Amino acid sequence: MCGHELGHVILHPEVNTPFLKKSTFYSADKKEKEANIFAIELLFPDSMLEVENITLYEALEQYKIPKNLTKLNY
């Protein structure tokens, strides 16, 4: 998803998560979660959810956003 990758570029410009996953024992899970949160905030700002009067999870379902993004724990 482009929003997720944009999150990496903006939030983690110095981190190469594919390299970390392939060549080190460093867990990139935190960086991946941060990029997911960035993508969700980009796609569904609170103001949009309020106007449409739906929850974040309803919006994810309605717009066919990948299910792995629904496993976020804020």
pLDDT for res 74:
46
d(CA 10, CA 42): 12
What pTM was computed for the model? Answer: 0.73
Q: What is each CA distance from 5 to 44, 52, 63, in whole angstroms?
A: 16, 26, 19
pLDDT for res 72:
60
Domain ranges of the chain: 2-71
pLDDT for res 12:
93
Segment-wise mean pLDDT, segments of 10 residues, the chain, 74 residues: 91 90 87 89 85 83 75 55
pLDDT for res 9:
94
pLDDT for res 40:
86
